[in-house]
Amino acid sequence: MHFLLPAFVAFIATTSAFPTYKHVVREKRDRLPAKWAKRAKMDARAVLPVRVSLKQRNLERAHEYLDEVSNPASSKYGKHWSVKEITKTFAPSDESSKAVLQWLSEHGFVNIRTSGALHTLEFEASVAEIERLLKTEYYVYEHSESGKGYVACEEYSVPAHITEHINIITPTLHFDVKPHMKKRDVPNHVPNGESDAASTPTSNGSNDMQGCVDRITPDCLRALYNIPKATSKPSPDNSFGIVEYSPNTYNEADLDAFFANYTPAAVGQRPIFKSINSGSIDVDNPTDFDNNIESNLDLQFGMDLVYPQKVTLYQVGATNNDASDADFIKTKVVSTSWGQNENDISAAYAEMMCNEYMKLGLQGVSVLFSTADHGVAGNTDNCTDDGQFQPDFPATCPYVTAIGATQIDRSTTNLTAALAAGDQPEVAIYQTIRSGGGFSNLFALPSYQQAAVSSWFSNSPPPYGADRFNDTGKARAVPDLSVNGANYQVVMGGVATSIYGTSASTPVFAAMVVMVNEARLAAGKPSLGFLNPAVYKYAGKFVRDVVEGSNPGCGTDGFEAVEGWDPVTGLGTPDFGKMMEVFKDL
């Protein structure tokens, strides 16, 4: 087990006289998230990096601002904001900064840094000092599977006159953030025993397509979704980011073996590496399934589909450096196949992160997240103790595009014929994993989704109520779209291995968005940015509905895929050819 913050230093003497204010609890946890246990009390002398996230201004207008630049009906469509405008609009008020700095200085904290976006104050303090500042106690918490230890507390308080000026303070309850984003969509390992480049299904019009029922290759995805193989020189302004969390790392030999099978010209191609919070990669170690699978999957398929477009790998290290979380994204599309149960994180943390994704949308970035692999049972394959389904965050943030999973129905006897006839050969995924889907307990139903979701409530009322999910009809619902997530032929240790997951689906849809951006940039248009208002508005023009299957979980049948939007496959699967037609001209 290793600690997040192992640096122990001499106890720092502090003054003893502090003003006495009435304190109020700022955040509190009722229970520990699944698989975490409280261990030893933290050494009072350990020094921790403290981050105080200040209340930002104008967030109540966030939805309106984002809608203006991403709703095709708006005259400001595509008029994305600069980082400077974003910082200026949302920066905390001087009053907030002053009040918090004053409180901190009364406690002897004077060397305080401000983050680039002005909403986070940073300083170092000993455990004893923070315990006094926040009237709390720090313990080490251990994750039963990874064995990792994190420093956290279960509630903290601030003076009554300060609470209105702050958002959250870390490290406190949020030890389960980034580093503990569960390996979403834990892809199940189904070795198919053969490295079968020779029998790769192709999209050259032959019956070889039938092989896609058992094995998904990049060519299968091109055939299923009507994606041409990219050939032209990409625009220097186009970009595609994939986020991974250390210690998960991709393997170079596997990447080349994958390219050799499917896109030989790409052999030797590597992602542009960007380390975030000390994220590191170990690209040539012997392949270890748990450590390599997510990165191998995302990069092999993501890079192949957009080649020769380059992909940027944002490799995030293991720190709980929360508040500036999304600031590092500089690409026009970003795909993340990681997440965690919404119920396991604090509402304030989820809202803060979601607002960071909103800011990316304002900048013209399309942010995509997968919805997890256990149907209605979220990321840990379990309902809450009181039987509630588990929606998955960040997919439930209304400012991201949430991607679920489908598969080719195994009863399809002639896939080529089905596709030629314009039939939907896919159903909600039922082999090995189930598509995450459901309703947020934190985020309200966004306007772009209102018609689709309310029609689902009236036409296909589920057999559950508030005992199982947020059935108010006022909650953000996921997924938005879905893409095949079964039998992906990921090369692991030199062998093609069948991998399943919404993890697989997400970078594939992201790749399609990258290709549409390519056409838009070539025509002098801005990137697509936040997709959902246009996705819902034009679904009828480019989406093939998925009407069969369900997403059972935690002993229930989950929800059913039905005509129109549903909480299993969202609106359905994209037809890229049609998507291009609709989206390139917006």
Ligand X SMILES: *[C@@H]1O[C@H](CO)[C@@H](O)[C@H](O)[C@H]1NC(C)=O
Q: Least CB distance from residue 344 to ligand X, whole Å?
A: 12
Nearer to ligand X by Cβ, of 292 and 432: the residue is: 432
Chain residues 164-203 in contact with ligand X, contact rule CB under 6 A: 202
Does the annotation mark 129 as catalytic?
no
Binding residue for ligand X, selected from 472, 494, 577, 585, defined by CB under 6 A: 472
Regarding beta strands 139-143 and 36-41, do their DSSP bridges make them parallel or antiparallel, or are they unpaired? antiparallel
Nearer to ligand X by Cβ, of 222 and 520: the residue is: 222
Place of tokens 């998925």: 546
Binding residue for ligand X, selected from 160, 267, 444, 451, defined by CB under 6 A: 444
With residue 505 as reference, give the H or E element that holds it. helix 502-522
Q: Least CB distance from residue 289 to ligand X, whole Å?
A: 20
Residue 158 three-state SS: strand
Q: What sign for the dihedral angle of Cα 521, 523, 524, 528? A: negative
d(CA 170, CA 120): 10
For residue 411, state whether it binds ligand X (rule: CB under 6 A): no
d(CA 208, CA 374): 31
Six-digit token string for 7 = 């640096």
Does the annotation mark 176 as catalytic?
no
d(CA 202, CA 257): 17
For residue 144, state whether it binds ligand X (rule: CB under 6 A): no
Binding residue for ligand X, selected from 414, 450, 455, 459, defined by CB under 6 A: 414
User: Catalytic one among 244, 298, 344, 518?
Assistant: 298
Q: Least CB distance from residue 43 to ligand X, whole Å?
A: 32
Q: Least CB distance from residue 476 to ligand X, whole Å?
A: 7
Nearer to ligand X by Cβ, of 20 and 204: the residue is: 204
Nearer to ligand X by Cβ, of 241 and 438: the residue is: 438
Nearer to ligand X by Cβ, of 31 and 98: the residue is: 31
User: Catalytic one among 157, 503, 505, 527?
Assistant: 503
For residue 382, state whether it binds ligand X (rule: CB under 6 A): yes
Site string for ligand X, 91-110 (x = CB under 6 A): --------------------
Q: Least CB distance from residue 381 to ligand X, whole Å?
A: 5
For residue 475, state whether it binds ligand X (rule: CB under 6 A): yes
User: Catalytic one among 294, 325, 342, 373?
Assistant: 294
Binding residue for ligand X, selected from 28, 135, 474, 525, defined by CB under 6 A: 474
For residue 441, state whether it binds ligand X (rule: CB under 6 A): yes
Regarding beta strands 241-245 and 333-336, do their DSSP bridges make them parallel or antiparallel, or are they unpaired? parallel
For residue 345, state whether it binds ligand X (rule: CB under 6 A): no
Start-to-end Cα distance in the chain = 51
Q: Least CB distance from residue 161 to ligand X, whole Å?
A: 28
Binding residue for ligand X, selected from 116, 193, 205, 540, defined by CB under 6 A: 205
For residue 111, state whether it binds ligand X (rule: CB under 6 A): no
Site string for ligand X, 247-286 (x = CB under 6 A): ----------------------------------------
Return the bridge partners of 272, or none. Answer: 312
Exposed/middle/buried for residue 331 (C-beta within 10 Å: 0-12, 13-18, 19+):
buried
For residue 392, state whether it binds ligand X (rule: CB under 6 A): no
Whole-angstrom CA distances from 157 to 169, 246, 462 are 10, 32, 41
3-state SS, 20-50, equals CCCEEEEEECCCCCCCEEEEEECCCCEEEEE
d(CA 353, CA 204): 44
Binding residue for ligand X, selected from 58, 82, 207, 278, defined by CB under 6 A: 207
With residue 120 as reference, give the H or E element that holds it. strand 120-126
For residue 146, state whether it binds ligand X (rule: CB under 6 A): no
Q: Least CB distance from residue 259 to ligand X, whole Å?
A: 16
Q: Nearest Cα to 335, choosing from 179, 509, 486, 482? A: 509
Q: Least CB distance from residue 424 to ligand X, whole Å?
A: 16
Return the bridge partners of 367, or none. Answer: 334
Nearer to ligand X by Cβ, of 296 and 380: the residue is: 380
Contact region for ligand X (CB under 6 A) — 37-45, 178-186, 469-477, 515-523? 469-477
Nearer to ligand X by Cβ, of 253 and 417: the residue is: 417
d(CA 372, CA 501): 7
d(CA 370, CA 503): 6
Asked if 345 and 170 touch (Cβ cutoff 8 Å), the reply is no
Six-digit token string for 76 = 């400001």
**Residue type at position 88:** K
For residue 347, state whether it binds ligand X (rule: CB under 6 A): no
Q: Least CB distance from residue 453 to ligand X, whole Å?
A: 12
For residue 37, state whether it binds ligand X (rule: CB under 6 A): no
For residue 385, state whether it binds ligand X (rule: CB under 6 A): yes
Chain residues 120-139 in contact with ligand X, contact rule CB under 6 A: none
For residue 77, state whether it binds ligand X (rule: CB under 6 A): no
Which residues touch 175 (CB under 8 Å, ≥6 apart)? Answer: 4, 36, 141, 150, 151, 152, 320
With residue 340 as reference, give the H or E element that holds it. strand 340-341
Q: What sign for the dihedral angle of Cα 114, 115, 116, 118? A: negative
Does the annotation mark 298 as catalytic?
yes
For residue 390, state whether it binds ligand X (rule: CB under 6 A): no
φ and ψ at residue 393, rounded to 5 degrees: -105, 145
d(CA 41, CA 153): 10
φ and ψ at residue 460, rounded to 5 degrees: -135, 55
Nearer to ligand X by Cβ, of 205 and 577: the residue is: 205
Binding residue for ligand X, selected from 27, 129, 176, 208, defined by CB under 6 A: 208
Nearer to ligand X by Cβ, of 153 and 554: the residue is: 554
d(CA 582, CA 586): 7
List contacts with ligand X (CB under 6 A).
Answer: 34, 202, 204-208, 380-382, 385, 414, 416-417, 420, 441, 443-444, 470, 472, 474-475
Q: Which residues are catalytic?
A: 294, 298, 503
